Structure 1
């Protein structure tokens, strides 16, 4: 298992764009892109990051005057798509992915096929998102405390969107904090996980709120708590885990745009500025909020700093539960 310090130090220094990224003149950056831009999304269609880049796609095409193509390449926790982007040399390939690709995966996979600290740089954190702890109404659990109490007494199953993904790590963080055991049932994506909780095949799940909120609103799922530090504006009556059961609990995740480390610094800055302008426009922010996503639009240096902190947190969880996926 890789240790955090080397990864984090390299990330903070290299990804800050203070060095290590090829330079380019402002004129070179202004002329970019000169051909089709490809955004690789290492998740199935319908995942939050996929929804974000598809909202951005027509606006970026209009802004850049070039086609923007989105390719879904899920698998291995995002590593397959990330590896392809890390090795891209055409100067027009980007990665739209959850931050877990660089904050969690280095702790879970001995062989990634790429080095997230050396081969990728963050362009921008596009939006933050939470997991929502949900249960089938027939389970009878009305809040997170009741679920945890029941799990101490007997077997409780929970669904996740996949081993090592945000929903799995958020639940393991909760279980570690409360010294509770549950049976993990991993799925290939949040939608099938949510559907099996709705159907009663699995009792509960800690699944991205974008996917489960419609089921909560129509009564097919009971929302117990959200993983971040603030309540969802789409479901303000559902408390945070910190409010309900574990003080200070924070499992906030981010949808990011990453680039190969070979992409010139000025081009990265141009892409960041263009995407940030779109993300922070009132209409786009409203669309994100409808999906329970919060626009972030930070700088590459700010993204690197947050990645470092989160990599430390998830590294502790992975070590604690002895989680390895290869």
Structure 2
């Protein structure tokens, strides 16, 4: 009998585990819940649902994605930080998870030590989008308008990272574009398409479904180098703001003190899903950039990301907000 990707995934998720703790059942012994601490329709929600959909046929228990938005992602994240580390409640977050510690007045958990790293899932390119009804078609034209009309343009942001992306553009370009906070990337895109919002910082996953409508433009991408997902779209640095470099990530976390064997097993299930051609094609369609790393390398990555934001905050580059 040939070994297919489907059988490999089933084997990865159903192999017996060593004893995880005294009297604790093997995983999964009941439905699995994945908390996305942001509203439906944004890039993180889209990614979590795509992975869950791929996993469902291969797990002996249901898997459900729950949106628990609030407080910049803190409400849903705190729920997971306080849960039992038995693998039945998981969390999918963006890099705002670490940035919140430096951008918010208080956060009721430590983003590194109060969670168990499971899987780094994607690196996220942020895009600056506008509607085709706006009186500028390129990033340099937008810059010229912003300089000629300080405070007249606005941009939509959804959490600490997209807020940072906009504030960093203001700081490096010497302009004043006012921020409007939204509850999710889907809501930003709705107002961009409708022409109510001049600019928005969002993920490629939020933007891609709207690009084919002909009503949305991507003015620039946030990292230092162009993304292969949008090879013709310049970086902010290329388009006239040297030194600009902002990127994001999406990852899966679990409650603290989860046994390493269980974290590895959950990651193996995610890795099996990533091997499925259907999910790979979905990633391409959504403009997602897979960057799968297991518990140990992800733990090192998470600690380094926390240190990077600590340094940025110490330098005064992170704006505090409530």
* TM-score, scaled to structure 2: 0.84
Matched, 1:266 2:261: yes
Which residue does 1:52 correspond to in 2? 47
Which residue does 1:190 correspond to in 2? 185
- For residue 241 of structure 1, give the secondary structure of its aligned residue in structure 2: coil
2 CA distance for matches of 1:321 and 1:240? Answer: 20
Structure 1 stretches of 5 or more lacking a match? 1-24
Q: 8 Å contact 1:107–1:324 — kept in the other structure?
A: yes
Which residue does 2:206 correspond to in 1? 211
Which residue does 2:18 correspond to in 1? 27
1 CA distance for matches of 2:56 and 2:192? Answer: 39
CA shift for structure 1 position 321: 5.5
* TM-score, scaled to structure 1: 0.83
Q: 8 Å contact 1:157–1:185 — kept in the other structure?
A: no
Which residue does 2:3 correspond to in 1? none
CA shift for structure 1 position 230: 4.2
Q: 8 Å contact 1:129–1:292 — kept in the other structure?
A: no
1:31-61 per-residue CA deviation (whole Å, 9 max, x = no partner) reads 3222221111101112222222222224333
1 CA distance for matches of 2:37 and 2:209? Answer: 24
Equivalent residues in 2 for 1:268-283 (5 A)? Answer: 268-283=263-278
2 CA distance for matches of 1:309 and 1:142? Answer: 37
Equivalent residues in 2 for 1:162-241 (5 A)? Answer: 162-164=158-160, 166-241=161-236
Match of 2:287 among 261, 268, 292: 292
2 CA distance for matches of 1:117 and 1:234? Answer: 30
Q: How many residue pairs get matched?
A: 300
Matched, 1:94 2:85: no
Q: 8 Å contact 2:129–2:217 — kept in the other structure?
A: yes
Matched, 1:77 2:72: yes
Label 1:279 to 1:120 Cα distance change in 2 as closer, same or farther (>3 A): same
Q: 8 Å contact 1:159–1:193 — kept in the other structure?
A: no
Q: 8 Å contact 2:155–2:177 — kept in the other structure?
A: no
Which residue does 2:321 correspond to in 1? 325
Which residue does 2:251 correspond to in 1? 256
2 CA distance for matches of 1:256 and 1:61? Answer: 19
Q: 8 Å contact 1:134–1:222 — kept in the other structure?
A: yes
2 CA distance for matches of 1:316 and 1:151? Answer: 29
CA shift for structure 1 position 84: 0.3
Matched, 1:136 2:131: yes
Which residue does 1:8 correspond to in 2? none
- For residue 197 of structure 2, give the secondary structure of its aligned residue in structure 1: coil
Instruction: State the superposition RMSD in angstroms.
Output: 2.4
